């Protein structure tokens, strides 16, 4: 799978030399031993950041960038919440809210 990706970073992926089922376990997270083995490969991967960004943008299944689907979902939620909090506390928005009262 990853070998068929067109992104240039994918050509340097550490998982190219690994069995694909390690990164696509049955179920959302997979057996703990598979997840741990896949994450160990990701830890030494030179394109981990690009891989994770790609998976977050495209909602991939399996383990990407060292995170399971559940972990990426939680990371996506944290990013969204942080973005909302930042927007709510922007000084100019506070001034606009106060003027409307
Ligand atoms: S971070 Fe993991 S899943 Fe992503 S390319 Fe590297 S080894 Fe493969």
Name the nearest CA neighbour of 65 among 100, 37, 41, 30: 41
Whether residue 50 contacts residue 57, with contact meaning beta carbons closer than 8 Å, is answered with: no
Query: Could you give the CA distance from residue 34 to residue 74 in angstroms, rounded to a whole number?
Result: 20
The one-character DSSP state at 23 is T
Give 43-87 as a DSSP string. Answer: HT-TTHHHHHHHHHHHT-SS-BTTB-HHHHHHHHHHHHHHHHHHH
Task: Spell out which residues line ligand 1, taking CB within 6 angstroms.
Answer: 2, 13-15, 23, 41-42, 45, 47-48, 51, 63-66
**Phi, then psi, of 64 in degrees rounded to 5:** -135, 140
- Please tell me the distance between residue 79's alpha carbon and the centre of ligand 1 in angstroms: 21
- Reported as a pLDDT band with limits 50, 70 and 90, residue 3 is very low
pLDDT at residue 30, rounded to an integer: 64
Question: What are the extents of the domains in the chain?
Answer: 2-100
Compute how many other C-beta atoms are within 10 angstroms of the C-beta atom of residue 73: 14
- Answer whether residue 28 shows pLDDT above 90: no
Q: Which of 5, 14, 17 to mutate to test the pocket of ligand 1 (most atoms within 8 A of CB)?
A: 14
- The pTM assigned to this predicted structure is 0.76
Question: Which atom of ligand 1 is closest in space to residue 48's alpha carbon?
Answer: 1
- Answer whether residue 51 shows pLDDT above 60: yes
Which residue has a Cα nearest atom 5 of ligand 1?
13
């Amino acid at each position: 799978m990853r070998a068929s990706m067109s992104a240039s970073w994918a050509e340097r992926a550490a998982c190219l030399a690994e069995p694909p089922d390690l990164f696509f376990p049955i179920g959302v997270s997979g057996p703990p031993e598979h997840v741990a083995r896949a994450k160990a490969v990701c830890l030494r991967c030179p394109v981990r950041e690009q891989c994770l960004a790609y998976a977050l943008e495209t909602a991939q299944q399996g383990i990407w960038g060292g995170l399971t689907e559940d972990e990426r979902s939680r990371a996506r939620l944290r990013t969204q919440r942080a973005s909302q909090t930042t927007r709510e506390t922007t000084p100019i928005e506070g001034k606009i809210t106060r003027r409307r009262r």
